């Protein structure tokens, strides 16, 4: 049985890590760019797109730095992570996405992330 493969994407974002963190970790921030609605209870986030719900547990986070979610119905080794990277010299901020998908779905999944992040950048006014 094929396994999902890990892939990473990086996007430059003109925002402070603190502001960006609220958009990747808080339900009202995530609702503005990632899903139609987002609710959270006991570290389990419910993401809704067009009446379809998916639940993910926040399994790791570092304030103003990173969030890692694990879909409840996904393979044990799979997760998706959004990490805020800041260049110490230039102070440029980037958002690094780590996700998993089957080989044949990676290109499509990257396209979805590209679209979501474009939307996030427009919401941030970056």
- pLDDT score for 2: 83
Three-class secondary structure of residue 120 per DSSP: helix
Distance CA 16, CA 124 (A): 10
CATH code for the structural domain at 5-124: 3.30.530.20
How confident is the model over 10-69, as pLDDT tens digits? 999 999 999 999 999 999 999 999 999 999 999 999 999 998 999 999 999 999 999 999
Residues 6+ apart with CB under 8 A from 62: none
126 pLDDT above the threshold of 70? no
Partnered with residue 95 across adjacent β-strands are 11, 84
* Beta-strand relationship, 37-41 and 44-49: antiparallel
Query: Diameter of the chain by CA atoms?
Result: 45
pTM of the model: 0.93
Q: Provide the token pair at 98.
A: 């780590």
Rounded to 10°, the helix 17-25/106-124 angle is 120
């Amino acid at each position: 049985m094929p396994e999902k493969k890990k892939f990473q994407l990086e996007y430059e974002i003109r925002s402070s890590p603190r502001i960006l963190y609220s958009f990747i970790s808080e339900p009202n921030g995530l609702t503005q760019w990632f899903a139609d609605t987002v609710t959270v209870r006991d570290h389990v986030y419910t993401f809704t797109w067009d009446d379809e719900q998916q639940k993910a547990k926040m399994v790791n986070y570092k304030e103003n730095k990173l969030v890692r979610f694990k879909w409840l119905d996904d393979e044990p080794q799979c997760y998706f992570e959004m990490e805020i990277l800041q260049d110490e010299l230039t102070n440029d901020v980037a958002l690094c996405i780590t996700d998993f998908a089957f080989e044949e779905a990676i290109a499509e999944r990257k396209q979805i992330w590209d679209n979501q992040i474009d939307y996030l950048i427009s919401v941030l006014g970056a």
